[in-house]
A and B are shown apart, each in its own frame.
Chain A
Amino acid sequence: MKNLDSVFAAYIVGWAVFFGFFLSIVRRTSALAAEVDRLKNSIRPKG
């Protein structure tokens, strides 16, 4: 079982990078979607 910790470290760090990147996409997308809604409401106010 020599180097098993290094193998796990590589997989965990690697997937953490992918997960962090995906999370940043989700956060930026939801922030922009909220901004689109806000701008649409400010351009075409209800009533």
Chain B
Amino acid sequence: MTKRILLGVAATALVIVAAYADFYVAPTERTMGLIQRIFYFHAATAWAGEMVFFVCFVANLMYVWKREQKYDWLGVTCAEVGVACITIVLITGPIWAKPVWGIYWTWDARLTSTFVLWLLYISYLLLRTLIEEPSRRALLSALFGIFAFLDVPLVFFSIRWWRTQHPAPVIMGGQGSGLDPTMKKVFYFNVLAMHIFCAFLIVERYILEKLRHDVDLLQREAEVQ
């Protein structure tokens, strides 16, 4: 319990410091102005969301291989946390896009693949509500989760493979890309803060899933009596 509280306090402190850095430490971008500050929150949340989906993918693979419940719990936990992250990405992106592009949304490669990613993991969560039998639910959702993860590399590479509306990458974008050194430090700090915040959410959500399992066991025990 103490470790959970410490993780929660550390995660909250980090995201507060990160938000302060976004507004007061990072310099104002020359062409976009203030609106570019959304980048630190938007992109850091996207990176954290994709990392959470990667953990979900590993948990899904491990479930198919080992058939241990803890991997099923981790899979559903990460799917929910990842959906929360991508929901934020899909909200903050259009808020940033409107003043810069003149439109909230366009069906370009990055935006569409991100929206499909969100739909895939919403489907993963819905699928779980449709199957009653626990081991069948765990196996089918793990297989679907492995399939859903195939979209993550597509999201990542979409702005490298296709030049559409979304800007080209400024991090790991090859020659001609890059960020001001202070912007880069602020961005990486945001990435760190968001990953730790997501780790905190994963721990809390995992405990919920474990409790759900305990309730199922106790209900069965009560039925036998």
Contacts from A to B (Cβ < 8 Å): 1-4, 6-7, 9-11, 13-14, 17-18, 21-22, 25-26, 28-29, 32-33, 35-36, 39-40, 42-43
Contacts and interface: CB of A to CB of B under 8 A. Distances in A.
26 contacts: A2-B99, A3-B99, A6-B95, A6-B98, A6-B99, A10-B42, A10-B92, A11-B38, A11-B41, A14-B41, A14-B88, A17-B84, A17-B87, A18-B84, A18-B88, A18-B197, A21-B81, A22-B201, A25-B201, A32-B212, A33-B211, A36-B211, A36-B215, A39-B218, A39-B222, A43-B225
Interface stretch (B29-37, B140-148, B155-163, B167-175): B29-37
Q: How large is the interface on B (under 10, 10 to 19, 20 to 34, 35 or more residues)?
A: 35 or more
A35 B212 CA distance: 9
A28 B33 CA distance: 42
- A contact patch SS: helix
A28 B225 CA distance: 27
A43 B222 contact: yes
Contacts of B92: 10, 13-14
A28 B210 CA distance: 12
A15 to B, nearest CB: 8
A36 B80 CA distance: 23
B197 A4 contact: no
Contacts, number: 86
Interface string B12-55: 00000001000000000000011101100110010000000000
Given A14-B41, A14-B45, A39-B215, A7 B84 contact: no
A7 B91 contact: no
Nearest to A22: B201
